[in-house]
Amino acid sequence: MANISIIGGGSWGQAMALLLHRNTHKVKVWEYNEANATQLQNERRNDAFLQGIVFPPEIYFTHKMTELFTEPPQIIIYAVPSSFIRKTVQQSRPYIERAFPEKQGKKSALTAIINLAKGLEENTLKRMSEVIREELPAAFGDKICTLSGPSHAEEVARGVPTVVVVAGDNKDTLYEVRKEFSNAVFRVYSTFDLVGVEIGAAVKNIIALAAGVVDGLGFGDNTKGALLTRGLAEIKRLGMAMHADIETFSGLSGLGDLVTTAISQHSRNRYVGYQLGKGEKLEDILSKMVMVAEGVITTKNIRELKEKLQISMPITEEMFQLLFEGKDPKEAIFALMTRSLKNEAD
């Protein structure tokens, strides 16, 4: 049994808490919103995030971050949106340093620091693991990894069979995550391609937005199939420019996550795209949502990155025009269909 601290009490933090509790671990969850934390601790549920899920009394919810570290955790999980990662890591650093003081020749009890966020940081365009690495002491650098893949919190919470991948630099850390997270309904593979996993996780949300637009406009399976295929080509193109392993994008964090997010009724990004395709305004859609659709800000960030790297990503460009420049959804799809003809591999 391991002590596990989850920083972030939204849908993913809650789902991870249930998964790890089922694996007999001692789990504590920090939630920044005090009212939500109190509700979770007292009522053992929060239907705004996970409908119908009741949490066992052994899972401890708190608004006080210090309570996550009264017993040094073996695993720390950051389950907050990408736009809050840096601030949250900065907030948690003093507690981590106090819980794990550096001592010459002494092996730290901390085995893994896991990121669940999917996106890039605005302005810096850094990947999530890069942000975490910058904000924590260098001694923890090889403990940092990212867990990703075709997985919705709602299904993980209900014990639906799910397969994901964990990416990092240290084989012992990856082995530990695989061992502690896996069970009969949740299987974890591992890879050293941290860049590929994080790029696949980020860009697929843009393609999922576009898939929602396709559905909202009432187009069919032909259109969706074409969009996902060309979307995967964009993910690969960016990944290769950033020196990722091309094989990663045929795996769980590439093709697997792309298809799942683009077709699922659980997908927040697909939902936003669907409402846009139906003619609703972006600000109105977002104002009604409790949870964050990472693909919106990711579209802006990936568009900036592809401009910097001078990479052709036409779906990303059209989604940027739709989201931030007021382009009509039908015109965006038409622009993709009427691009200059070329070889499929180009």
DSSP string, 146-168: EEESS--HHHHHTT--EEEEEEE
Query: Is 289 within 8 Å of 276 (Cβ atoms)?
Result: no
Strand 162-168 and strand 75-78: the pairing is: unpaired
Catalytic residue status for 308 = no
What is residue 7's DSSP assignment?
E
DSSP line for 16-61:
HHHHHHHTT-EEEEE-SSHHHHHHHHHHS--TTTSTT----TTSEE
The span from the CA of 71 to the CA of 5, in Å, is 10
Buried b (16+ CB within 10 A) or exposed e, 233-270: bbbbbbbeeeebbeebbebbbbbbbbbbbbebeebbbb
CA dist 136 and 282 (Å) reads 35
Name the strand (E) or helix (H) holding 170: none
Q: How far is CA 209 from CA 79, 290, 315, 323, in A?
A: 22, 17, 10, 10
| Candidates 118, 126, 204, 306; catalytic one | 204
The two counts, helices (H) then strands (E), for the chain are: 14, 8
Spatial contact of 202 and 214, defined as CB atoms under 8 Å apart: no
Q: What's the rounded Cα separation, in Å, for the pair 271 and 262?
A: 9
Give the residue numbers marked as catalytic.
204
